[in-house]
A and B are shown apart, each in its own frame.
Chain A
Amino acid sequence: MTTYTKAEKGQAETEPQDISAEWLRLDKIEPSHCGIVRLVRAGESEIDRLKSMGLCEGRKIMMIKAGDPMIVRVLGSRIGISARLAHNVLVLPCDGDYFGQT
């Protein structure tokens, strides 16, 4: 598990523009679906706020309530986030539910 994330992280770091076709923007995730955050696009001053609350590369999220603003579960807590910010978060959708794999 650890080696896997580190390899992935290295990739995201060295080629930040390399956006996989499988990744979805966070605001496109369906309710009760989950995913792993792959890229949080820098440039917005809000990025640090997102990241310090856990919305950062490698973290698993679940959409609790879609819409604008939406509610996302990450690291066991619920975060309310506006669609404008969620648009800058790219997520690799994953199978199973949020708790199934912990």
Chain B
Amino acid sequence: MALVGNPNAGKTTLFNALTGLRAKTANFPGTTIERRVGHARIGGNRVKILDLPGLYSLSDVTAEERVVHELLIGKNSSEGRPKAVVLLVDATNLERNLYLASQVLELDLPTIVALNMVDMAERDQIAIDIDQLEADLQCKVVPVSARTGRGIDLLAQHLARLVDSGVDHSAREINEAICNCQGCPYEARYDWAEEVGERCLTRHGVSRPQQTDRIDAILTHPWIGIGAFLAVMFAVFALIFWVAQYPMDWIEQGFTIVGSTVAEWLPPGDFRSLIVDGVIGGVGGVLVFLPQICILFFFLALLEDTGYLARAAFVMDRLMRGVGLSGKAFVPMLSAHACAIPAIMATRSIDSKRDRLVTILVLPLLSCSARIPVYAMITALLFPAQPVMAGLLFTAAYSLGIVAALSMAFVFKKTILPGDTRPLVLELPSYRIPSLKTALYSTFDRARIFVKRAGTIILAVSIVLWFLATYPKSDPPAEAVAMLGDAVAMAEQGQLDEARIVESDAERIAAQSRLSKSMAGRLGHLIEPVIEPLGFDWQIGVGIISSFAAREVIVSTLAVVYGVGEAAVDENPGSLYDTLEAAVRSDGTPVFTTATSVSLLIFYVLAMQCLPTQAITRRETGGWRWPVFQLTYMTVLAWTASFVTYQILISSGIG
């Protein structure tokens, strides 16, 4: 059974009311267009319900229209035609909705019309003659309110009858009335829709309430509107960073506890290291962002449901068009400051394929929260105990990301993806109280997709990186072996505290040596000539490589390669910064000079170092071509910018 209707007609709410949480989001085969599949028990039968994308018509102009049309006529589909169609019609917007209705009814599928938002229509003093509408549409019409649940039972009863019998009313003759007209097919259908509307609707009020228009006068004002939008988004982001920190702490602690518990269970060895460091550590490092993602999607869903997001796209359109992006790209761009993965998923609202692709390509340039630990580390190296300068450096890093994203969007629009930004045509639905339930469902859905990624691709990446950092194994250096021997001797003499210190030093030196001789270490040595002009040594190279699991991993990797020990960093981050500051190259000069630190910061702002993001780009663009391009252009951009900065700083004497 398929659910068809206009955007903003309340389709998702009705779908949730019918199916509850047992729904799954999946793509149409071979496309990135989403549909939701759920099951409902209707009249003793388990019925599969498809929630199709919202449409204005079946004219095959957009990809959505095409896939829905093909599904309804049973073309290109192994599933065959749907057994029944629930056609959702917004009672407050009857004539416009009847356009799609006329097209769907012509397909002669067993159909029930769910006349949604009857409560809103009543509030607006619109009376609808249901009998007349049934006569005009030649089809059962059930007034419902998906939001309050009114009429849902009745709808289910009628559906049960329809599914059992497989037939509804007699073959319809509306098509005749429409197809006989020559000329603009839209005009004929809308003439019909308006005629039906005239017969069925009685508006008691002088006009529809002008509340929405009054609010819009403020919220879509060219300047006040932008200010209001920035204020709303700032509030959402403040909430994300503020509220999310508690669950993020819990998740982190949870993974630490799980890791140490498992470590006690398993015998020491490679397998334990794989499970604890590779699997639990790697997946935990990414899942820690789940609270931010959930809160972001929850608020976006709420804002969308109120009708506000359409206004946001409306006011931002003019500004964004200047750089060749759609107004709808703004929300994903803001979301990318939490994490690029949900941001790329959120670009689905952009209807032009080219605009969407440009947005996806530039989103990872915006500073996501995984970069914060890296920025914090570099800030501590450059400006220890100078909060004002540290704040300025953070701001500069974020601004660099934003400027780079907008500039690259502009460049792409001028070069590889030429063409005008699709001009705005956007419905601005009436404001309404958002449904908490719908927002929660949608959050749950997104969270499930994210967790699934963490359980598959991110898990695989973590395991690969663990292998790179672990193999081939090497013997601990003589120094470490000697120190361990000393430690044992000390312990025998009763100097337990000293023995523990020497032992942990020995382990640290051994870990450093192991990593240096591992594949990751060798790769670090291998890329050293390439990154040397940026002021980086092979240790930073290892950090950059390990960052591909998640950027913040560089902090713990540097801790290992410069020999601080991971445990020390967790207990006292200052110890890492002290060690990094003291780190020297083979010629005895310090590694983290001002030039190297700034260069590293710029590299981390601009470089594409996140395989999970690449995996999402692949999924959303349907192939490896664009993720590979994204990786290439961002790496080249980051390298060039770091190179130029480093060389300028060096030649101007800032070492």
Interface residues of chain A, those whose CB is within 8 Å of chain B, are 2, 5-6, 9-10, 12-13, 46, 48-54, 56-59, 64-65, 67-69, 71, 74-82, 84-85, 97-99, 102
Contact = CB atoms under 8 A, between A and B. Distances in A.
Contacts of A52: 56-57, 59, 61, 99, 186
B150 interface: no
Nearest to A45: B61
A76 B427 CA distance: 11
10 contacts: A48-B59, A50-B425, A57-B186, A65-B217, A65-B220, A69-B424, A71-B314, A76-B96, A78-B216, A99-B203
A49 B92 contact: no
Nearest to B55: A52
Interface stretch (B26-34, B204-212, B363-371, B468-476): B204-212
A56 B188 CA distance: 10
B59 to A, nearest CB: 6
B35 to A, nearest CB: 20
B93 A80 contact: no
Contacts of A65: 216-217, 220
Given A49-B425, A50-B425, 8 more contacts: A6-B181, A52-B57, A53-B427, A65-B217, A67-B222, A69-B317, A71-B220, A75-B96
Given A10-B183, A51-B186, A58-B187, A2 B195 contact: yes
Contacts of B206: 99
B61 to A, nearest CB: 4
A76 B208 contact: yes
Interface string B96-139: 10010000000000000000000000000000000000000000
A10 B181 CA distance: 10
B428 A99 contact: no
B interface residue count range (under 10 / 10 to 19 / 20 to 34 / 35 or more): 35 or more
A76 B193 CA distance: 12
B422 interface: yes
Question: 10 nearest interchain CB pairs?
Answer: A52-B57, A52-B56, A56-B186, A75-B96, A78-B428, A82-B423, A80-B426, A51-B186, A48-B61, A99-B207
B94 interface: yes
B190 A77 contact: no
Contacts of B62: 49
Contact of A69 (B190, B194, B318): B318
B243 to A, nearest CB: 32
A9 B184 CA distance: 8
A71 B217 CA distance: 10
A76 B216 contact: no
Contact of B92 (A13, A69, A76, A79): A76
Contacts of A10: 182-183
A5 B213 CA distance: 29
A12 B188 CA distance: 13
A88 B115 CA distance: 34
Contacts of A99: 203, 206-208
B427 A78 contact: yes
Contacts of B552: none
Contact of B187 (A57, A74, A84): A57
B533 interface: no
Nearest to A46: B423
B95 interface: yes
Given A2-B195, A68-B318, A77-B96, A56 B425 contact: no
Given A2-B195, A52-B57, A71-B220, A80 B183 contact: no
A59 B190 contact: yes
Contacts of A77: 93, 96, 427-429
Contact of A84 (B56, B186, B217, B423): B423
